[in-house]
């Protein structure tokens, strides 16, 4: 199992790559989606920007019920709002990880829907899930960029648009 410090190091590294990706979200394509079943680019980018809040939730709660906590998505009017939301989420998640210890990762955390458990895992497991989710959706955004002819930033290695390594 990873320690809070290891999660902090990983979040720090991934947040730099993710922010670079979010910086490229086009302001004039908010409603664009590659398929009718896909999220719009604005919905996807907003979801990515809010994922670090899951780290805070993992370390401060034992469960989350989707029905009981249904709310409107945050209002993002422009790329500055998106980046501010992401930066604030990252800063808060880092602070939470800096204050955590290994025992904080052990308790069980559950995602519920109307009281019915959908997922149950350790708090450390939820941290891993949140980081994986951020990476996964960032890659989806890269596909959106490719389809819109927006340069795809390098992540762990070069892309056709950005040769070389970080």
End-to-end CA distance of the chain: give it in Å, rounded. Answer: 27
In whole angstroms, give the CA distance from residue 133 to residue 1.
Answer: 18
Question: At a CB cut-off of 8 Å and minimum separation 6, what does 111 contact?
Answer: 63, 64, 66, 117, 118, 119, 120
For tokens 């790559």, name the residue: 17
**Residue 137 is assigned to a ligand binding site:** yes
Report the helix count and the strand count for the chain, using DSSP H and E: 5, 3
What tokens appear for 9 in the block? 């190091």
Distances in Å between the Cα of 31 and the Cα atoms of 27, 42, 140 are: 10, 7, 16
Annotated binding site: 47, 137
Annotated binding site for a divalent metal cation: 47, 137
């Amino acid at each position: 199992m990873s320690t809070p410090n290891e999660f902090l190091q990983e979040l720090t590294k991934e947040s730099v790559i993710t922010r670079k990706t979010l910086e490229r979200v086009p302001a004039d394509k908010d409603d664009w989606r590659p398929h009718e079943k896909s999220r719009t680019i604005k919905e996807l980018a907003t979801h990515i920007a809010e994922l670090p809040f899951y780290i805070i939730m993992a370390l401060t709660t034992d469960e989350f019920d989707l029905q009981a906590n249904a709310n409107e998505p945050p209002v993002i009017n422009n790329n500055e709002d998106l980046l501010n939301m992401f930066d604030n989420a990252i800063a808060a998640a880092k602070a939470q990880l800096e204050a955590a210890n290994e025992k904080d990762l052990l308790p069980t955390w559950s995602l519920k829907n109307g009281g019915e458990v959908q997922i149950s895992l350790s708090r450390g497991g939820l941290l891993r899930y949140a980081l994986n989710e951020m990476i996964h959706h960032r890659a989806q955004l890269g596909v959106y960029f490719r389809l819109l002819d927006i340069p795809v930033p390098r992540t762990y290695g070069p892309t056709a648009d950005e040769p070389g390594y970080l």
